Structure 1
Amino acid sequence: MDLTMMVEAAVVLSSGLKLTLTLTALALAAGFILSVPLAFVRAFARPALSLSVLAYTYVFRGTPMLVQLFLVYYGLGQIEAVRTSIFWVVLRDPFWCALLTFSLNSAAHTTEILCRGLQSVPKGMTEAAAALGLKRFQTARLVTFPIAFRISLPAYGNEVVGMIKGSSLASTVTLLEVTGMARQMVSTTFAPYEIFIVAGAIYLLLTSIAVKITQVLELHLATDGKSSLRRRTRLKTALPGATTP
């Protein structure tokens, strides 16, 4: 094992780290924004609308992301209507093709994750919110979604990790993120062993950080919920005539 080559690889591959993080962060953000309304439709809408969202998530969750990327990058360019449309300015760029594919894939997974969380919210919570006079949108924003997100956070953490690793597929459409830089370096140095070990270590570091952030956020939300409960308890005991439960 050539340690000098590994050090050189670490320096070279770090230049692709910015693109990896950019693709991952933008795809997760776009996917999450898209998944929130879809999750509510999937969980609570009429069967026809719920099934249409299910069809979307079923296709994107059930097919390899590499195939989806090839269909967007190579397939859409074969359609004359696409090439003559205003969207071709974006779709001819491999970065935007990769971002579109990753976002749609992440949205499909996140939709099902949030849907399960929404369906797990106790019915008594929404009934209590209705009794307090909250409208449906207010109940969804202030009660249902925060609880569902807390329930769904461990599963969503797995989606974040999966997207970090999945971003390596961008190298198949000529993007020079970490894996793309590794492939380019291997083609000139003929040292795949050392270079891909370094690439793997970079992805391992990124996923470890993502897991740790998820754990900290879980702990924070759990602690915040307990603190809120303690504050409400203290307030009740401070009121005249209140009794400690």
Structure 2
Amino acid sequence: MDFTFLWETFLKLLSGVPLTLNLALVSTAFGALLAVLLTLMRLSSWRPVGWVAQFYVFVFRGTPLLVQMFVIYYGLGQFRPTLQAWGLWVFFREPYWCAIFALSLNTAAYGSEILRGGLQAVPHREVEAARASGMWGFLLYRRIVFPIAIRQALPAYGSEIILMVKATSLASVITMLEVTGLAAKLISQSYRAVEVFVVAGLIYLVLNFAITRLIALIEWWLSPHLRPAPTVSSGAALHHA
């Protein structure tokens, strides 16, 4: 095992981490906004709106992300005159924005189902108790529905964020030099695929470990009722008595 080569590879691949995190965070943020819209459409009482959202989720969950990225980056180039006329070619000619667009559309489909499940998991009795206490409209959702739904959906949505970090590796196929793109470049130069991919895998492992710890911290913060009660020493108890 050539540890010198592994260290040099690690330093080179480390330069792709900012782009990897940028792709993951930006696409997750845009995807979350779209996921909220899709969730509201799915829960709408107007059926045509719900059907549109359901079809969207079916398409983007049922087709590979790699195919979606190819269609957006390579396929839309066939419509360049139309996109130029609409002023969209400036956006779609850049691989970065095509990757963001594909990743955002994909994660929105999965995120909408996670959010819908979280909202539907809110106990009906708690909503009725809040209404009996005089809570209605936005106040009811802000204090009761949304906090419970977020707690219910957070573990699954955390897994989706981790999947998005790993999915950024597909951006390398459209010339993006994030961690996997740099790894492929190093392999073409050194022909040492095993060592390079081992280092790349370790980098993704560390990134995802940090994300899981952050999500666990947020989940702990949102669940004060699940924390153990503070213990009171016998001396303190006698003092208060």
Residue of structure 2 in register with 1:81 after alignment: 82
In the alignment, what sits opposite 1:140?
Answer: 141
Q: Deviations over 1:67-109 (max 9, x none)?
A: 0000100111112422432111011000000001111111111
TM-score under structure 2 normalisation? 0.88
Cα separation, partners in 2 of 1:139 and 1:44, compared to 1, 3 Å: farther
C-alpha offsets along residues 30-60 of structure 1, whole Å, 9 cap, x if unaligned?
1112212321331343332222111111111
CA contact (8 A) 1:43 1:118 kept: no
Contact persistence 1:40–1:118 (CA under 8 A): no
Aligned mates of 1:175, 1:110 — CA distance in 2: 25
Alignment of 1:23-34 (within 5 A): 23-34=23-34
The CA distance in 2 between the partners of 1:4 and 1:22, in whole Å, is 29
The 1:212/1:226 distance shift into structure 2, 3 A limit, reads: closer
Q: Normalization by structure 1: what TM-score? A: 0.87
**Which amino acid is the alignment partner of residue 54 of structure 2?**
L
Q: Which residue of 2 aligns with 1:116?
A: 117
Distance in 2 of aligned mates of 1:226 and 1:168: 37
Q: Which runs of 5+ in 1 are unaligned?
A: 231-245
- Unpaired runs of at least 5, structure 2: 230-241
Instruction: Tell me if the contact between 1:168 and 1:180 (Cα under 8 Å) persists in the aligned partners.
Output: yes
List structure 1 runs of 4+ shifted beyond 3 angstroms: 128-135
Query: Partners of 2:14 and 2:47 in 1: how far apart?
Result: 48
Aligned position for 2:212: 211
State the Cα distance separating 1:143 from its structure 2 match.
2.2
Supply the distance in 1 between the matched residues of 2:82 and 2:133 (Cα, whole angstroms): 52
Alpha-carbon distance between aligned partners in 2 of 1:98 and 1:131, rounded to the nearest angstrom = 48
- Superposed CA offset, 1:5-54 (max 9, x none): 11110000001110000000101111112212321331343332222111
Q: What number of residue pairs does the alignment pair up?
A: 227
CA distance in structure 2 between the aligned counterparts of 1:64 and 1:187, rounded to whole angstroms: 26
> Does the Cα contact within 8 Å between 1:61 and 1:108 map onto a contact in 2?
yes
1:39-58 aligned at under 5 Å gives the runs 39-58=39-58
Amino acid across the alignment from 1:197: V
Paired residue type of 1:31: G
Instruction: Please provide the CA RMSD for this pair.
Output: 1.7
1:157 Cα deviation after fit: 1.1
Q: Does 1:94 align with 2:95?
A: yes
